[in-house]
Amino acid sequence: MARMMLRVLSTALAGAALTAAAVPAANAAARPGPGKGLDAKVQERADKLVADGAPGVIVMTRRGGRVAHVTAGVSDKATGAPMDARLLFRIASVTKTFTSTVVLQLAAEHRLSLDDTVDRWLPGLVGANGNDGSKITVRQLLGQTSGLNDYTPDPRVMSDPSRSWKPEELIAIATEKPPLYAPGTGWNYSNTNYILAGMIIEKVTRHPVGTEFQRRIFTPLHLRHTSYPTTNPGFPGPYVHGYYYDYGDVSTAISPSSARTSGGIVSTVDDVARFHRALFTGRLLPAKQMREMRTVRPVNDDGVVEDYGLGAARIKFSCGYAWGHDGGFPGYRTWTYTSADGRRQAIVTYNESKYEYDETFRADLAKTTETAFCG
């Protein structure tokens, strides 16, 4: 499930300056011994992912009031610093659920309608090569049914990794190609939709998206380790180093401006879990908007079968359904799962992109997520 620019990086990245913030030798999570149930099972799965090649892995689990963290491997291959569940990482397309939440809050406040067209808020922006913003609704953006092409596979996006992209430039790339289908008649995963959603948030509120994230989500939920950088490729604190194929450590090589409201947030496993628990148990949206978010359609995205709603997906496990979103950004991959009652959660993240389509790794990842959510 390619969520953010996981397929191609230009050779320009090889020459990009890679800065390395010091990662303290923080206390890694205690490795559970035999007989400790879920933690031991999850530890075994996390260790297997490292054996498969991932430099490091974090798995957070919740069972009711009990939260546990399991780590394996390293957060920084250069120093050998162990993986630590408190470290920051790029949550990539998990950002989409934050973006959708803000849009749905604005709908609940009657400041926009999900049936508004893109042209209603961004007149003329989507109009080239048969793309028509007058026929695409906000709902279709959030549900990935607009028919717009994804801008991220275009080699220009990564030809200069440190470049600061403007949202309008990303939309222009996407609309160089004709739409894949008439709006509302198909489904394709496109980061373009969520760049437009972020632009609409700013047009409606007259505030930067980061300001709306902060006052509507980060501050009320006390997400103290969550931030929304737009152009700065650095991290505001100790972080997980991310690795991309032969390019090595790309943690601070790529401007988040190429992701923005489709994938730009930096966070921790605990903050991500706190947000999802609040959202899916109804603390952030009224019932009507929760129904909109949870109105799903079955999709197959890069071989992963799920039910996609408005910025959130429903995933079937042996123990029932989970809600969440996954995300990938060069060097980072994250999978999130929360039960509808919030009593069961699993967050899995690791810091290497090259196993995205490795069959052995993906099979072991599936076992890890099943154990973490259901075990």
Give catalytic residues, as residue numbers.
93
Q: Is 1 helix (H, G, I), strand (E, B) or coil?
A: coil
Beta-strand runs (E) in 180-331: 266-267, 297-301, 304-308, 313-317, 320-324, 326-329
Query: What's the token pair of residue 15?
Result: 């020459």
Phi and psi at 68, nearest 5°, equal -135, 155
Q: Please, are residues 93 and 355 in contact by the beta-carbon 8 Å criterion?
A: no
Please state, in angstroms and rounded to a whole number, the distance separating the CA atoms of residues 253 and 50: 24
Residue 360 buriedness (CB in 10 A; 0-12 / 13-18 / 19+): exposed
Residue indicated by tokens 């060097």? 331
Phi and psi at 279, nearest 5°, equal -65, -55
Please state, in angstroms and rounded to a whole number, the distance separating the CA atoms of residues 361 and 98: 28
Residue among 236, 245, 197, 234 at smallest CA distance from 5: 245
Residue 115 buriedness (CB in 10 A; 0-12 / 13-18 / 19+): exposed
Q: Please, are residues 317 and 299 in contact by the beta-carbon 8 Å criterion?
A: no
CB environment 268-279: b (16+ within 10 A), e (fewer): bbbbbbbbbbbb
Query: What's the token pair of residue 52?
Result: 């498969």
Query: What's the token pair of residue 28?
Result: 């890694």
Q: Please, are residues 343 and 63 in contact by the beta-carbon 8 Å criterion?
A: yes
Please state, in angstroms and rounded to a whole number, the distance separating the CA atoms of residues 186 and 147: 7
Q: What ranges in the chain are assigned the alpha helix state H?
A: 38-52, 95-108, 118-121, 138-143, 155-159, 167-174, 191-205, 209-213, 269-280, 287-293, 359-374
